[in-house]
Amino acid sequence: MSSGKDVSSVKRNQAHHTEQSAQLAMPVALTIAGSDSGGGAGIQADIKSFSALGVYGASVLTATTAQNTRAVTDIHDLPQAHIQAQMAAVFDDLDVRAIKTGMLGRAAVVATVADGLRRFLDVHADVPLIVDPVMVAKSGDMLLASDAVSAMMAQLLPLATLVTPNLPEALTLLAASDPERAQQLEIPLGSATTVPQLAAQLEVIARALASEIGVPVLLKGGHLNDYSSNLPADAELPVIDVLVECQEATLFSSKRIATSNTHGTGCTLSAAIAARLALGDELKQAVAAARDYLHGAIAAADQLHIGSGHGPVHHFYAMLRQQR
């Protein structure tokens, strides 16, 4: 028969083992998004990004798409009850350190995901949530129903640690509550004659959205080239992103890479931010590290030769470089 001292010793050893296991465990990041059968975007891009950055990836599928580098030819929305079951299974067992959402598709799915996240975050308030408000695929195909935009604004975005729209998505979100204001914010982009003017207006839009939803915003400026017609012919337009956090704006700028292989860049960036947050970065540090990772993945994208349309970025470029 074991003595009380022996039992206490066993319990101490078990507690010590549990603490060591927690310290050694790989951080878990969760993506809640759609599947891209072509492998370049969606949960496939998210899990590749998590893995490349040293984070264990878990997933909740909201939809499956028939998709390649050229087009999205079919979308199958998964039942809400199945989405709820996936979320419950992950949250019940895995120590999730960061979450990102991607393609949600329909207003009902936005509501389902928001409800599950709200209940989880009520208990785990320290877990960061990155919301990538995916609306349109690289091919131009719509991935979000129009009625889902208002649901996203009201139910999901207020839960976020960071929202990562591109420029068209940001204007669409703003137009959900005030179409005229969104149009007025876009007008100066079309009349800009210098890169600093474009960057300044990007910040104005980022601040407007952050104020509207009450959470930090990373406004991605990859689409600024759509407004570059009035720039001097010799002007070099970098990729400019603006982070607005607690009324402070931080501008990130990097050289624009000449390639058509940019499928899944938005998914990759938001997943990389989630991964860095799961590893313990502060928000601004996570954004900077994620942008550097994406820049390298885009720079190496032409090495892949995948598909005949907009090919994917090279998520594992750093690993392959180390092996050479």
pLDDT in tens, 104-135: 999 999 999 999 999 999 999 999 999 999 98
CA–CA gap between residue 91 and residue 86 (Å, rounded)? 9
Which residues are marked as active site?
220, 262, 264-267
% of the chain exceeding 90 in pLDDT: 78
Edge-to-edge strand ranges of the sheet holding 72-77 = 72-77, 56-67, 28-36, 96-101, 129-131, 162-163, 217-220, 239-245, 248-254
Backbone angles phi, psi at 249, to 5 degrees: -105, 130
User: Which DSSP helix (H) or strand (E) runs through 159?
Assistant: none
% of the chain exceeding 70 in pLDDT: 90
Residue 269 has pLDDT above 60, yes or no: yes
- The alpha-carbon radius of gyration of the chain (Å, integer) is 21
pLDDT in tens, 218-265: 999 988 888 888 888 888 899 999 999 998 999 999 999 999 999 999
Q: What type of residue is 41?
A: A
Predicted pLDDT at 167 = 93
Backbone angles phi, psi at 268, to 5 degrees: -65, -45
Token representation of residue 321: 């470089």
Residue 85 has pLDDT above 60, yes or no: yes
CA–CA gap between residue 213 and residue 238 (Å, rounded)? 28
CA–CA gap between residue 248 and residue 120 (Å, rounded)? 29
Predicted pLDDT at 2 = 47
Distances in whole angstroms, Cα of residue 28 to Cα of each of 47, 97, 117, 182: 11, 6, 16, 37
Predicted pLDDT at 138 = 65
Q: Which residues pair with 253 in a beta bridge?
A: 240
Q: How confident is the model at residue 11 (pLDDT cuts 50, 70, 90)?
A: very low
Residues 6+ positions from 291 with CB-CB distance below 8 Å: 241, 252, 254, 269
* The dihedral formed by the CA atoms of 30, 35, 41 and 45, expressed in degrees to the nearest 10: 40
> Is the Cβ–Cβ distance between 272 and 53 less than 8 Å?
yes
CA–CA gap between residue 293 and residue 285 (Å, rounded)? 12
For tokens 């993945």, name the residue.
297
> Is the Cβ–Cβ distance between 319 and 52 less than 8 Å?
yes
CA–CA gap between residue 131 and residue 143 (Å, rounded)? 15
Query: Any idea which of 20-34, 44-58, 153-167 has the lowest mean pLDDT?
Result: 20-34
Predicted pLDDT at 46 = 98
Question: Is this prediction's pTM over 0.85?
Answer: yes
Q: How many residues make up the chain in this entry?
A: 324
Closest CA to 266 of 286, 283, 241: 241
Residue 317 has pLDDT above 50, yes or no: yes
Query: Any idea which of 63-77, 134-148, 231-245, 273-287 has the lowest mean pLDDT?
Result: 134-148
Predicted pLDDT at 15 = 52
Average pLDDT over residues 178-206: 93
